[in-house]
Each structure stands twice: as structure tokens, then as C-alpha cells.
Chains A and B, each alone.
Chain A
């Protein structure tokens, strides 16, 4: 059993980051956690019952299982749109949003301010600046317009900048 657990931990550490990205793209944070847990639980069940050799490519297997969990999740939720299609297009878009450098987003301060952002904005921010995804890519995967993603990011950046400025002025 120890061998199976060690194997699971190896796979878990090697795949968790990518699966986190996928689940954050497709589901709200709370549900994304549940979906991830389900996918890993299925994988652990399988290798515990049939041994390590049961899955030749664990990453591909876990990705597929997670996709099914996500699909099942959305089917069972009466196919509610992932993102409320607000009038985001009317928001002033920040033209330079993609030019926000890595260093700008890297500080602990930004992360702590990020926690106060709306859940959806936080996900978009992390996918863009954390995982380095393009705005168009995020928009396509989430099923919304690029303008909506862009404006959410712009608003988040604006708020974060202002709060940092306020903190510095104190």
C-alpha cells in the first residue's frame, strides 16, 4: 500500500498544477476543488484496485477524468452559463492590460489584495498572470467575450493599484 501511496503522491505533485488550471478555467473555486478531489479519488481508487500499471499515462487519464467531472457538473447544473454575461463590453478596457509585467503581480501584497476581489475576477487574474494564458484563450474556454475578460482584469488592476497607492501614502 505504501508503494501505491508513494506513486499517487508523485503523480499528484506532478499533475496538480495543470489540473488546477483546468478546473479554475471551468468551474467556480469551491466546485473546482470538489471536481479536483473527485478526479484524484477516482485515480487513487483505480490504482489501489488494479495497481500502478493500470494507467499508462496518469496525466492524460487525470485530465480526461477531470474533463468528464466538469462536463457532468455542467450537465447537472441545468447548463447554467459559467460567467454572467454582464455588460462588460461597456467598461473602459485597459489597452495595456497584457503588458502588466510579471514582477507587478508577484508581490505578496498583490496576492493579499487579490483575495478581496470577486471570485471570478480572481480566477481570471490567476489564469492570466499566474498561468500565463492569453485573454482570448481564457475567454474561449470560459465561453465569454474577450472584452468581458479584459474589462474584469482592467478593473481588478485599477483597484489593486489604487489600494497599493493608498497603502504607500499612509
Chain B
């Protein structure tokens, strides 16, 4: 290797890369820059086009004319019409599946038929809504990457709540969300004081959410924007007109009466609409991962299927944000992440590997509560590695992503203490060698599955660009365990603290890095092959 040259590196950092400029932009929160400048050049054209479209669509006659060029206004409108009221369009009808149809996207939607309400708040109004709640899924339409669900909500379920406080006593009046929104439009404020005697709160949010097992919310569709049945619309118009007096003065009796009439009228009605979920947006939205593909490689199974629960939720605004008042399951939505990409399962070739000798220093790190504050302590322990067993379970290679869901089980010898097991699980990592080149995991998760057993799941999506389109796929993946214990804790002020063997070192205040050399455990290497 040539020698390094400080002056040239400084030139690269400061002049070519503009080190201080980037620092300033990041710290001042300027938006991230797009590396695709040709797109920026198209912005003025796009803006002109958007303005023209908006202008045309603002004029009802022009809008109708434009939409009439298409056979139907939109896919969700087509679905919302109901089978009896449609002019059949063969290509669309072919895309529609009924809940429960086999081998279709979203085929588990609608599979929940009993006990749909999984949660209802204790307040009487929500218990009442729960009793009347009904939800029915009609059809599912899959348009490439988008999924439309046709819903029919009955009872008071889809109505937002509205608090009307009268003289200090709150009474709840179910009022349709869109009408309330109109009321708020005038004042441009979520709460309206009514002559000092009553006030309206921001309505609850009703919608359908896609939620992962760990509670991560992927997308939600606000039901406030869906169409009401004509019968309901007429009723709501009347109710709203009662609310639109300029000099409102609602006393408790009046409030209760409006509430009673409103509920009674709405109980027999149903709300019909469609919700739309877009897999493309799942690919694009950053859920806190470094890359959307990392997100998918984390959550999709080894067949490339991403499963998410579809739930109806009604939420109410509280001091600490929205809180769920009612939740009901609709079933599980399935997205084929690999629809446009090839996926190959990896099989296990080698037998489990067991370490036969050697010792290692393992770092056991934990947060400890003491004297009213949390301290981070690191302890270095020694352990005999003989008997540590690695077992490859499964994994997959997805074209354009890399390795996903590689699972390795590690079992520790009986003689090991729980601290040694935990320390090993914290110190161990894995490299993946995919047909030769070596990669570090971009996602890594450990789970304790037994007294002396841990399961490690990881994905490597940092393949170089040249490997993304390998037509022949990946033939062999070798997994090599590595151990890295903490030798020093490097503080942000430049101080370094050594962590000696059999000693515990506490992290002082401030940021820190943990430093230490890596040791490969080649005896524990495992091999996957293409199935």
C-alpha cells in the first residue's frame, strides 16, 4: 500500500467534500439533499402540470369530463359501488378477490370472524359503541402493489366522539367527523368555545391500521375521508344544521337530547368505504431503519411475505396524544415483498459446529439502577469456549436485497453461568461470506430462547451493487462467528478507560465508544447452500 498523505486527505475532506459545510447543514436540520439532480430539473415542469391538473379538477364540469375519459373514476370508487351497481369491467373484476379466496394477496383479510373487538375503553360511551359495533369486509382488489379493502361499518363504530362540556359536566355526543371538521374550518382551531358554556373538542380519529406483531404501525387509512351512505348523509346534514347556530347556547338537557337523537338515528345505518394500502410506500417509507430494504428484510419471512394485522381503531385526543378507545381486528394482510424480485431459500449444508478448545474474554454490559440514576457497567469475564455449539437454521437470498432472515442457534455448555451466556451473546457477531466476499450484518437481533440457548437473526443487505443482479443467485453462504469484547471505553472528551479482566467499569457521563479487537471463531463456521 502507498503511504498516506495528510495534505491530500485534508484537501479531499475540506475542499472536495466541504466538511464544515456538511456539518453545518446536518446540525441546522436542513433537508437531506437529493443526489438525483435530473429530478430537480423536472420540478418546474411537474409544478406546471400539477397546477393545470388542480385547476381542471377544481371545476366540477371539467373534472367530470376528465374522469369520464376513464371508464371509472378510481379503483376504490369501483369497489365501493358494490357488485349490483357496477358496469362490469373485465380487467378490474379479474383483480377482485373475496375474503378467504386462496392464493391471493390479502387472503387472510376477513379471516377474523369472532370477537372482533379486541379492546374497548371502560367509559360507557365506548362500551355502548362496542355493543353496536359491526364490521364487514366485502371484497379486496389488488392493483399491482396497491390493495383496496371494501368495508361496511355498522352501528356507531365509525363515528368520532365529540365532547361537549356543559357547565363543567362533559357529555359525549357522537357527531360525524366530516361535519365536525366543517365546523372547525371557520375558527381554524380544534376547539370552539360556545358562549363560555360549552366547547367542542377535536374529534376522535377513526381508521384502519396495518400493524406488525411488535406494534410497529405501517400505514393507516383515515375513515374521515370516506363517503357516507345517502341516508346517513341526509341525517347528518340535519344534525349539523342544528349545530350551526351562530349563537349556540347548549345546556345539558339540549346536549343530551341531541346525543340521544343522533345515536338513535345512526344505530341502524352503515358506513361503506374502501381503504387502500400501498406496498410501494412501504418500500419507500423510512421506519427508523437505515434503508427501507433493511426494514423489509427484517419483517418479511423467508418466502418474502410481509404479514401485517389490519385493525380498525377509534382514537381520542388526550393530553398526551391520541389514545385508542376501540380496536377491532379485521385479519391479516399479506404483501408479497418478493413479487418483483427473485428469492431463494438457503439450505443448511454443514452439521452443527462445536468449539473444542480455547478461552475468551467476554464483556457483560448492563444498565443498573442505583441512587436514582441509571449507570452503564461493563464487566469482563473469562470463559472456556469448549462446548459452545453453533447451529444453522435457515435463511434466504433475495435478489436486489441480499441475505435475509439468516438464523443461527447458539447453545452454551452446562458449566457456564447465566452471566457468561449473556456476555457471549452480547459479544458475538457474525460475518457472512456469500460466494466468497465477506459482509457484516446490517440488521442483527438476539433472542434468549432457553436457559443456555440464544437465537440470532440477521440480514446482510450491504452487498455491493455488482452483486445485486446476479442472475445465478448465491450458491454458498458461510457464516463465521466473531467475538469482540470491550477493551477500552473511549469517551467523547478523548479519555480512554481500560476494562480489566474480572473488573466492572462504569461509564462516566457523556458519549462513549467501546473499542476492542475482533477474534474469529473459525471452528464455529457454518455453511448454507442454495436449496
- Which positions in A face B, CB cutoff 8 Å? 3, 5-12, 16-17, 20-21, 23-24, 27, 29-38, 40-42, 44, 46, 49, 52, 56-61, 64-65, 67-77, 79, 98, 102, 105-108, 111, 114, 122, 125-126, 128-134, 143
Contact = CB atoms under 8 A, between A and B. Distances in A.
B369 to A, nearest CB: 15
Nearest to A134: B1
Contacts of A132: 1-5
B59 to A, nearest CB: 37
Contacts, number: 160
A64 B290 contact: yes
B2 A98 contact: yes
Contact of B461 (A27, A35, A68): A68
A10 B511 contact: yes
A122 B11 CA distance: 11
Contacts of B511: 3, 6-7, 10-11, 52
Nearest to B493: A10
Contacts of A5: 27
Contacts of B18: 33
A20 B463 CA distance: 19
B288 A130 contact: no
Contacts of B391: none
B7 A111 contact: yes
Contact of A68 (B33, B291, B400): B291
B466 interface: yes
A96 to B, nearest CB: 13
A128 B4 CA distance: 8
Interface string B14-48: 00111100110111000011111100000000000
A61 B510 CA distance: 19
Contacts of B411: none
B8 A111 contact: yes
A68 B4 contact: no
B35 A73 contact: yes
B290 A58 contact: no
A8 B22 CA distance: 12
Nearest to A47: B511
A68 B465 contact: no
- The 3 A-B pairs at the shortest CB distance, nearest first, are namely A130-B8, A7-B511, A68-B291
B22 A68 contact: no
A61 B293 CA distance: 15
Contact of B2 (A9, A37, A134): A134
B338 to A, nearest CB: 16
B442 interface: yes
B12 interface: yes
Contact of A37 (B9, B25, B510): B25
B291 A130 contact: no
A82 B63 CA distance: 46
Contacts of B465: 70-71, 74-75, 79
A34 B34 contact: yes
A41 B9 contact: no
B513 A57 contact: yes
Given A24-B12, A30-B37, A131-B4, 11 more contacts: A20-B13, A23-B17, A32-B17, A44-B27, A64-B440, A74-B465, A105-B5, A111-B7, A126-B16, A129-B2, A143-B466
Contacts of A128: 2
A130 B32 contact: no
B492 interface: yes
Most chain B C-beta atoms within 10 Å of own C-beta, residue among A11, A17, A69: A17
Given A111-B11, A126-B8, A10 B468 contact: no
B462 A67 contact: yes
A40 B26 contact: yes
B440 A60 contact: yes
Task: With a 10 A CB-CB cut-off, give which of A17, A37, A41, A70 has the most chain B CB atoms.
Answer: A37
B351 to A, nearest CB: 31
A157 B511 CA distance: 44
Interface in B495-520: 510-511, 513-514
Contacts of B492: 6-7, 10
Contacts of A27: 35
A34 B11 contact: no
A46 B19 contact: no
B32 A37 contact: yes
Contacts of A126: 8-9, 11-12, 16
B115 to A, nearest CB: 36
Contact of A72 (B4, B291, B440): B291
Given A37-B22, A37-B26, A68 B290 contact: yes
A9 to B, nearest CB: 7
Contact of A130 (B9, B400, B510): B9
28 contacts: A5-B27, A7-B492, A12-B23, A16-B17, A16-B19, A20-B19, A29-B16, A30-B37, A37-B25, A40-B26, A41-B26, A65-B290, A65-B291, A68-B294, A68-B462, A71-B291, A71-B465, A71-B468, A76-B36, A102-B2, A102-B3, A126-B11, A126-B16, A129-B8, A130-B4, A130-B5, A130-B7, A132-B4
Interface in B459-504: 461-466, 468-469, 492
Nearest to A43: B26
A158 B293 CA distance: 45
B496 to A, nearest CB: 13
A143 B16 CA distance: 22
A57 B440 CA distance: 13
Interface in B180-196: none
Interface centre among A31, A40, A58, A64 (most CB of B within 10 A): A64
A11 B400 CA distance: 31
Contacts of A102: 2-5
B5 A75 contact: no
A38 B8 contact: no
Interface in B284-320: 288, 290-291, 293-294
B57 to A, nearest CB: 30
B21 to A, nearest CB: 8
Nearest to A105: B5
A59 B440 CA distance: 13
A64 B462 contact: yes
Contacts of A131: 4, 8-9, 12
